[in-house]
Structure 1
Amino acid sequence: MGSTVNSKWLPVTSTITVALALLSASTAAISLYFCRKKARVLYSKIQELEISLNSCMQKSAAERQGRIRAQQDLRKALAQPKSENLEQASYPMTPIGVVQSCFSTRNGTPRQPLLVPLARACLIFDSARVPPASLEGLVEYSHCWIIYVFHLNTDLVKLWKHPSRSKFKAKVRVPRLKGGRMGVFATRSPHRPCPIGLTVAKVEAVQGNMVLLSGVDLVDGTPILDIKPYLPYCDSIQGAAVPEWVMVDNMLAVASVNFSESFSSSLSDCWETAKKKSLYASPDELQCLIKQVLSWDIRSISQRNQPHDPLIKTGNGEAPHSALDSNQNQDQEASDNENSQVCHPSGDVTYHLILEGMDVSYRIDFNGNVIVENVVVSSDILNGNQNRSSFLMWRDELS
């Protein structure tokens, strides 16, 4: 009886098994179909991407070749003399920043960098051209090179607008040679065919698009073309040779710097007006700056040779350009109108130095002793830029 029942359901079981097998086969076939279809779609997309990538690479290569050819053509065109006047083409450069310096005028600005360690300046970059990210990593260097323009040269406009009619002096007077002449390219005179200066300064701090520097020899308002980090392993040359007259130590150093009894109180009075725009923390620090600056004879050759000539002031209390040092901040002077005369005791002559917007008056005798007499607030600090960088902005970095 049992075997009869089993034999009865056997065809049904076989039918179900076959149906399930067919269903599985159909499912597998359908899955395989869709997988192959999806693979074909993916393969098609991969081919499209490869074609697009190859096209982009070809376009990029063509553009790169085009740029290279354009740059080569441009360099070739710029290097060729102009047919109308045989002058070589110029390379216009726009300053990327400006210096806010403790030296308000050329007079008193050191002739070389690092001679006045306390001399501070804030280099402010044009944020539209130089993003703050450009300064990342600079603070890790102790010093940097600065390339700038001698913007206070009196012949600057004529030199750049009409170079063929501008005749620079082949020889300049050198303070270390007591007015003796030397070829301009053997000196650091600012009066050059291309009025571009190079200096080095200590990097104190970096903040946003500003760099605080010390040991500077830059006058206020100097346009900056570029800065580069100082690298001791290649920038410091061991055994470099220089002429004997350059090696003379303390040629322009004064014998001593002393302050009058009333100077400290006068400086304290001026400090109340100047401190909000000053790069210094206190009147004492500013007095140390004055002493460092006047430790060198900052007078021009003509002033040293004619010490009895008084310093004539203009109506606004400023010294005229003819009374100022003819160089901006270098070790040579380029004036050809200086008369060589025998020096006489000059205790009755008062000279003026503008620092941090303050007018410092001093005398220097025949023996090179400096007496700093008085200080008053200059009109520069009253009418100057209200957005100047100050010590308060850098207090955390300098502390």
Structure 2
Amino acid sequence: MSRINRELQSISFEPIGVIYTPHVDLVNMPVQPVGAKGVEGHFELKPELAQGLTDLDGFSHITLIYFLHEVGGYDLMVKPFMDDRKHGIFATRSPKRPCAIGLSTVRLLRIEENKLFFEGADMLTGTPLLDIKPFFRQTDNRPEAISGWLDEKDETLAHSQRSDDRFVQSR
């Protein structure tokens, strides 16, 4: 057995809450939070975890990590919404991935006990929430970053992209 096979093992996560948004179908959803400006959502954290929200209300943005529960299977080469040619899955944010985890940085609107309300909802309602991270402007922004093939695209493209049926799970 190779070293990598010995070190890689199956893992499982227990969701810490559920995300609720206006999106009930994968088709025509915003592709990124930037394209979901004004689209509000909220999530309900398990009540026993509510104390962990202490001091989060001082942040304007949070990063949500969640399970893409309605996406089945994966492709190693995908045509992302923001391009007309295929790229390797790890060079995209395509949802059809070997490990179907989603990531969205959203604007925190308010916290009410174990419910958090946010803007930038680009995920399906009923999405299992795995973690919440505060957005640190001092370390999370990278103005010198290069975005590969995406740098060739019009910056406004992400604001208008909507999903289609290419990542809908076949049933």
- TM-score (norm: length of structure 2): 0.86
| Pair 1:174 & 2:92 matched | no
How many residues end up aligned between the 2 structures? 166
Residue 97 of structure 1 corresponds to: 17
For 1:114, the equivalent position in structure 2 comes to 34
**In the alignment, is residue 298 of structure 1 matched against residue 162 of structure 2?**
yes
Runs of 5+ consecutive residues of structure 1 not aligned to the other structure:
1-78, 82-86, 156-167, 254-295, 301-324, 329-333, 336-399
Structure 1 position 297, deviation (Å): 5.0
Pick aligned residue for 2:63 from 145, 161, 185: 145
Identical aligned residues as a percent: 28
Shift of 1:170: 1.5
Pairwise CA distance, 1:247: 4.2
Contact in 2 for aligned 1:203/1:212 (Cα 8 Å): yes
Alpha-carbon separation, structure 1, partners of 2:97 and 2:5? 23
Question: Does the 8 Å contact 1:176/1:252 carry over to 2?
Answer: yes
Q: Distance in 2 between matches of 1:230 and 1:118?
A: 19
CA distance in 2, matches of 1:251, 1:184: 19
Larger Rg: 1
Closer, same or farther in 2 for the Cα pair 1:252/1:230, shift >3 Å? closer
Q: Which runs of 4+ in 1 moved over 6 A?
A: none
- TM-score, length basis structure 1: 0.39
- After the TM superposition, which of the residue ranges 223-232 and 114-123 deviates more from structure 2? 114-123
- Residue segments in structure 2 that go unaligned for 5+ positions in a row: none
Q: Distance in 1 between matches of 2:41 and 2:129?
A: 12
Partner of residue 238, structure 1: 143
Q: Residue 102 of structure 2 corresponds to which residue in structure 1?
A: 197
Q: Which has the higher contact order (CA 8 A, sep 6+)?
A: 2
Deviation at 1:195, TM superposition (A): 0.8
Deviation at 1:137, TM superposition (A): 1.0
Residue in 2 that maps onto 1:326: 166
Matched-pair contact (CA < 8 Å) for 1:114–1:216: no
- What's the counterpart of residue 3 of structure 1? none
Aligned-partner SS, 1:139: helix
Residues 1:210 and 2:115 aligned together? yes
Counterpart position of 1:19: none
Aligned CA-pair RMSD: 2.4
CA change 1:103–1:192 in 2 (3 A) is same
Whole-angstrom CA distance in 1 between matches of 2:163 and 2:130: 29
State the shift of 1:228 in Å. Answer: 0.7
